[in-house]
Structure 1
Amino acid sequence: MGGDLPPIGVFIDPPADGLAALFRVLLGGMAGWLLHTEVTGVYAAVAVGASAPALLAQLGRSTTADGALHSAPGGQYPGASPTSPEQSLPSVSEEATP
């Protein structure tokens, strides 16, 4: 059945994962500190701390009202192609011909 197992460093990056964990703990602590007057109980404090990174990630992905009103359902502005917007516009000579 054998073979040696690969080292754990193949699957994880300890410095990057440690830094991400540290920032998540700091974000959770800051959220708990900001909401300390609103939160009562250990379970509520843990929920606030655990949800802080996810809440900030959601806020980072949100769009402005102007961007939402002027974008197409696919997330791009209407008439824009994925490669370059100039390719979707007709040339002047094509517009002038009857």
Structure 2
Amino acid sequence: MLTWIEAVAFGAGGGLIAEAVVTYGRMNAWQQARHAARAAEAALPPLDKFIDPFADSLAALMRVTLGGAAGWLLHTEVTGIYAAVTVGASAPALLAQIGRATTPSEALRGPREAMLEPLASADSEGPSRIREEAP
């Protein structure tokens, strides 16, 4: 098991890796646009049309912070470096999902009610429907 400091560091590293993947996607889009412009003999698009240094730096800082926070929150659950990096990389989605859970009782009650709905509709149609569908 990792200490909380290790989980924070590796979680932040996972956030940084995820941001690097996003930045790579933007750089790839810029490269493709440049190739298309060269083929059409048009003006080459500048890099700042695809990357905004100020906004992207803030987003990267936030992703690293969220990765570290997720590592800290889940440090007792994370058992290895790869798990901590994965938690950090998925931190925005993971923390958003945790934030949507309002209370533990609603989280437990919600899926059970959803599972009982098909049973209630089968009961309302009666046993004849069940016998008709049986082989």
- Summarize deviations over 1:49-85 as a string: whole Å, max 9, x none: 112111233456x4867xxxxxxxxxxxxxxxxxxxx
Report the TM-score when normalising by structure 2: 0.40
| Cα root mean square deviation, aligned | 2.2
Q: Within 5 Å, which residues of 2 pair with 1:1-98? A: 1=39, 2-59=41-98, 62=100
The count of corresponding residues between Structure 1 and Structure 2 is: 64
Q: Whose RCO is larger (CA < 8 A, sep 6+)?
A: 2
Query: Are residues 45 and 59 of structure 1, via their aligned partners in 2, closer, same or farther at CA, if it must alter by over 3 Å?
Result: closer
Identity %: 72
CA-CA distance at 1:39 after TM superposition: 0.8
More helix by share: 2
Contact 2:70–2:87 (CA<8 Å) still a contact in 1? yes
List runs of 5+ in structure 2 lacking aligned partners. 1-38, 107-135
Report the TM-score when normalising by structure 1: 0.53
